[in-house]
Amino acid sequence: MRERFFAPRVRAGSYDELNAWLLDQCIAHAKAHRHPEFRDRTVWESFEGERPSLVPYAGRFDGFHAVPASVSKTCLVRFDNNKYSVAAGAVGRPVEVRAYAERIELRQDGRVVGTHRRSFGRDQTVYDPWHYVPVLARKPGALRNGAPFKDWVLPSSLERVRRKLAGSNDGDRQMVGILVAVLGDGLAAVEAACAEALGEGVHSADVIVNILARRREPVQAATVMTPEALRLTLAPAADCARYDSLRSAG
């Protein structure tokens, strides 16, 4: 099959495109060729006869190559001649690199700390700017000059706020405050808050953070169950006339 379908070498735009083409080729081959043992039917006819007895498909096989790796002080992990970023909180402890056909997944203590499209070049560095947002809280100036943030494409409202803040003396600090809010409130909530602020003609970080605070649902107080021994059998009745008696006594 390898010689039949992959010689000469096949070119495809993606693995999904390649797999779809390969499936079509396999089905066409099975329908056109006789079974090697049951010569009165094709391979496809034999497969269809066995299909009811086959184990049901349980989903794509989670196939990956796993290797341990260390994390540099710049939040980078080296694998297969390239570097990939991880969340800033992962620095200082080893991670597991799971290399799939198309992506790289980085895990620490079973938790995903980075996911990237796999690079097949050499000496390339693949960044996820969100991994470095906690670092920006200490070094706001890196937002303008740091390598992870070069050509960073933000959602439209966030990008508009960023451009407006660029002319302020403390624009970097304000923008970092907005980006840090994403870590707690989520990107969708911060993007909506930016859109609301822009709609009102303002773009400062204080206004956007205030909008986020107003949109958060209030924390529900925990319900305390009263023990049966402390329940009142006779509820007290309000008697405001007692205050009148105190006044007359004075």
> What is the model's pLDDT at position 105?
97
Mean pLDDT of 8-19: 88
> What is the model's pLDDT at position 250?
56
Mean pLDDT of 141-153: 89
- The answer, yes or no, to whether residue 220 has pLDDT greater than 80, is no
| Dihedral angle sign, alpha carbons of residues 231, 233, 238, 241 | negative
> What is the model's pLDDT at position 249?
62
Residue 158 one-letter amino acid: L
pLDDT in tens, 120-133: 889 999 999 999 99
β-pair partners for 117: 103
User: How do the domains of the chain map onto residue ranges?
Assistant: 2-50, 65-126, 132-215
pLDDT in tens, 38-51: 989 999 999 999 99
pTM flag (> 0.75): no
Mean pLDDT of 11-39: 92
pLDDT in tens, 89-129: 999 999 999 999 899 999 999 999 999 999 988 999 999 99
Nearest Cα to Cα of residue 87 among 71, 103, 70, 110: 71
β-pair partners for 105: 98, 115
Degrees to nearest 5, angle at CA 76 with 72 and 78: 95
Which of the pair, 15 or 75, is modelled with greater confidence?
A: 75
> What is the model's pLDDT at position 245?
78
Least confident of 31-35, 65-69, 78-82, 213-217: 213-217
